[in-house]
Structure formats: C-alpha cells, structure tokens
Chains A and B, each alone.
Chain A
Amino acid sequence: QVQLVQSGAEVKKPGSSVKVSCKASGGSFSKFGISWVRQAPGQGLEWIGGIIPIFGTINYPQKFQDRVTITADESTSTAYMDLSSLRSEDTAVYYCASGGAVAGTWYFDSWGQGTLVTVSS
C-alpha cells in the first residue's frame, strides 16, 4: 500500500489556477496509478482524472478535460493536479488516491489527507 502526503490548503481568486502536489512513498505510479478525487462541501466524491493502469493512459472525465492537467514525476514520486479557470464551484477538498486491481475492478486503497482549495474573490 502506498502512503500519500499532499500539499497544504490554498485560497485562490476566480479565474486563476491551482496546483496541488501529492508525494508517494512505497510504490510506483505505473503500478499503483494516481488519481484525483474531489469533494465539495456536503457533497459526494467526484473523480477528476488520473492514471489508471488497467485503462492505459491518463484519463479525464469530459467535464474536466479542458481545465485539469495531471502529471506524475516518478523520479521524485510526486504527482500534481493543475486546475485552471477556477470558479466558486471548484471550492472543495481535493484528494489524491492510488490503488490496484482485483477481478478487473480498479479500487483506491490509499488516500492522501486532502487539500482544501477555496475559490473566493
């Protein structure tokens, strides 16, 4: 199981960008993947993209395709999530997560501690 530690809380203006980091120990992204999941206040979990080894390349939901960039640097075991054109609805806790596959299912069994991103003018 991978251990994940995320960067600290951010406060951003509407229209700006935010970059959140996630440092991994105990495993490689190519094997355990790395995804980003967010949770708006009082809302459910939402996958915003990631590297899922059983799917191949980096995947993004269409909703975020134009605004999210996920990168992973194996040399430093650090992944990044860059979200641009921020709006108030992007205020949420952002988690990085990694996992594995069993019986064809991809699951997340390691989670970062979460990073609160607040978008406010």
Chain B
Amino acid sequence: DIQLTQSPSSLSASVGDRVTITCRASQRINSYVNWYQQKAGQAPKLLVSAASILQRGVPSRFSGGGGSGTDFTLTISSLQPEDVGTYSCQQSYTSPLTFGGGTKVEIK
C-alpha cells in the first residue's frame, strides 16, 4: 500500500500568515493526489484535485503544488479564521486508496 506522510501534524499560525502543508508519498504517484479540508463535526470537503486543480468555489488563497511525483504541498497564502480545521491528502494512483494522517491548523 502507498503510505502518505503529512507534515507537520499540527500548526498554529497568525491570521494573514502563509501556511504550507507537505504530503510525501512512499513511491511515485505522478499527480494523483487530492487535498481535503475537514472542519470539526463535518464531512471532508474537496479543495484541490490532481495535485493543483482548485475546486470551484474554493478561495484562491488555497493552492496545490508538487511535481516530483512523491512530494506535494497545500499552501494557504493568507490564513483566515475560517481556515481552522484538519487538512488531509489522498492518493488514487493505485488501490487501496490511502489518506495522509492529517494536519490540524489552528489560529495563534
């Protein structure tokens, strides 16, 4: 199975800060990675698909990157209070689909 390792596991940043979350795959997965945001008590919400395609309605301060095939990033260019939650990456390069362990984002 492909393992996805996210870092950091949690972070605390100020409003307006630039925040970057990393997802490292245990093998090359091309760009077959998606990013989700999950707020407390809610289902996950898709933010980015295929490593860099921002979903309709998602604020442009969110962006996905990564071209090495193993290392991917989710960046929030200017952190807002409503961005508090847990962010998870997911690969669909091969079955079984797997998720990263999640990164909890808080406001300082």
Binding site for B on A (CB under 8 A): 35, 37, 44-47, 49, 52, 54-55, 59-62, 95, 97, 99, 102-109, 111-114
Contacts and interface: CB of A to CB of B under 8 A. Distances in A.
Contacts of A46: 99
A47 B99 CA distance: 8
A63 B28 CA distance: 23
A107 B92 contact: yes
A44 B95 contact: no
Interface string B48-76: 01110101000000000000000000000
Q: Which of A44, A46, A105 has the most CB atoms of chain B within a 10 A radius of its CB?
A: A105
- 7 tightest A-B CB contacts, nearest first: A61-B96, A111-B43, A106-B92, A103-B50, A45-B99, A107-B49, A105-B50
Contacts of A60: 96
Grouping DSSP codes into helix (H, G, I), strand (E, B) and loop, the A interface class, with mixed when no group exceeds half, is strand
Given A45-B88, A103-B50, A107-B46, 17 more contacts: A44-B102, A45-B102, A52-B92, A54-B92, A59-B96, A61-B1, A62-B96, A95-B44, A102-B50, A103-B49, A104-B50, A105-B92, A106-B92, A108-B46, A109-B55, A111-B43, A113-B43
A103 B46 contact: no
A112 B43 contact: yes
Contacts of A55: 95
